[in-house]
């Protein structure tokens, strides 16, 4: 398992295009929208500049995680999974390693948007809050890594890419990463609170405010994590069983 983890980490480090894609988009968007006059309001108990910083950091992190996860559809096309199938690695460990490596692709976006917030918009948090923000949001990407794997293992490369995009866009918008849920109608606000994207961003909002994660938020994330893990493991098993 260590050899496979080391192999996947090397592959991730070499993929500079992914890092640029997941960093530039959210940083530029944050710099544009966080400078608007309306950002004097408060959102999620924070100044709008800080709340938007967290939301767009989550947006970039989620983009990276889903992109790495769904790239396994290409691996299936070249029968890489069939080679893994003949190794001693059980499906559970293969999915675990791939999910862990996928979550690491979130770190550049989280750091880059945080740096932009600190130096461009003078976001001031204590060192402890910055660390908590990074660690909690990195941990919060686990369900999205598993979702990306479920898409990649379950669909062909032609279908995985649009499915990945639709999942990313839908969850980002409905979960409040791009548009604050405070502006949503009541029905959509209740829906947002049940989605993993809102609870993912909530980890960052609460960390920036010096608060511990909410039990309800952790419960929602845990439920989605289990559901996506089951889907990813089942999709992996089916994909390697096909001839």
Domain count, the chain: 1
For the chain, give the mean pLDDT: 83
Per-residue pLDDT, 141: 95
Nearest-CA neighbor of 62 among 217, 199, 216, 215?
199
Place of tokens 């419960």: 219
Give pLDDT tens digits for 53-92: 999 999 999 988 888 766 777 766 665 555 566 566 666 6
DSSP state of 179: S
Reported as a pLDDT band with limits 50, 70 and 90, residue 243 is very low
Q: Taking the CA of residue 180 as centre, how many other CA atoms within 13 Å lie in the half-sphere pointing to its CB? A: 21
Give pLDDT tens digits for 111-152: 999 999 998 888 889 999 999 999 999 999 999 999 998 998
Q: How far is residue 132's CA from residue 113's CA, in Å, rounded to a whole number? A: 15
Per-residue pLDDT, 167: 92
Reported as a pLDDT band with limits 50, 70 and 90, residue 235 is confident
Its pTM stands at 0.85
Q: Strands, E, within 71-164: which ranges?
A: none
On whether the CB atoms of residues 103 and 141 are closer than 8 A, the answer is yes
Reported as a pLDDT band with limits 50, 70 and 90, residue 36 is low
Q: Which domain holds residue 93?
A: 2-241
**Is residue 15 pLDDT above 50, yes or no?**
yes
Give pLDDT tens digits for 212-227: 999 999 999 999 999 9
* Residue 31 falls in which region: left (phi positive, over 0), alpha (psi -120 to 50) or beta: alpha
């Amino acid at each position: 398992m260590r050899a496979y983890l080391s192999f996947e980490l090397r592959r991730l480090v070499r993929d500079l295009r992914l890092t640029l894609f997941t960093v530039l988009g959210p940083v530029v968007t944050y710099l544009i929208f966080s400078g608007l006059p309306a950002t004097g309001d408060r959102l999620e108990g924070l100044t709008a500049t800080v709340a938007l910083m967290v939301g767009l950091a989550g947006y970039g992190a989620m983009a990276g995680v889903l992109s790495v996860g769904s790239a396994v559809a290409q691996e299936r096309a070249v029968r890489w999974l069939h080679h893994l199938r003949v190794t001693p690695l059980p499906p559970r460990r293969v999915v675990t390693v791939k999910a862990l490596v996928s979550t690491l692709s979130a770190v550049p976006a989280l750091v880059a948007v945080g740096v932009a917030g600190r130096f461009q918009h003078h976001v001031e948090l204590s060192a402890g809050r910055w660390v908590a923000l990074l660690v909690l949001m990195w941990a919060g990407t686990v369900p999205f890594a598993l979702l990306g794997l479920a898409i990649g293992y379950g669909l062909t490369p032609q279908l995985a890419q649009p499915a990945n995009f639709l999942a990313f866009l839908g969850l980002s918008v409905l979960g409040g990463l791009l548009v604050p849920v405070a502006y949503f109608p009541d029905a959509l606000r209740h829906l947002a609170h049940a989605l993993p994207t809102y609870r993912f961003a909530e980890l960052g909002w609460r960390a920036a405010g010096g608060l511990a994660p909410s039990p309800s938020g952790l419960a929602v994330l845990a439920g989605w994590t289990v559901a996506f893990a089951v889907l990813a493991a089942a999709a992996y098993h089916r994909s390697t069983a096909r001839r």
